Amino acid sequence: MNEGSRHPKVVKTDAEWRAQLTPEQYRVTRGHGTECAFTGPHLSQKEPGVYSCVCCGAPLFRSDSKFESGTGWPSFFRPVDPEAVVEVHDHSYGMHRIESRCATCDAHLGHVFPDGPRPTGLRYCMNGVALSFRADAPTGGSAS
| Burial class of 74 by CB neighbour count within 10 A (0 to 12, 13 to 18, 19+) | buried
Distance CA 32, CA 50 (A): 23
| Burial class of 59 by CB neighbour count within 10 A (0 to 12, 13 to 18, 19+) | middle
Q: How many residues does the chain have?
A: 144
Neighbour order of strands in the sheet with 59-62: 59-62, 49-53, 131-135
Annotated binding-site positions: 53, 56, 102, 105
Annotated binding-site positions for Zn(2+): 53, 56, 102, 105
Active site residues: 125
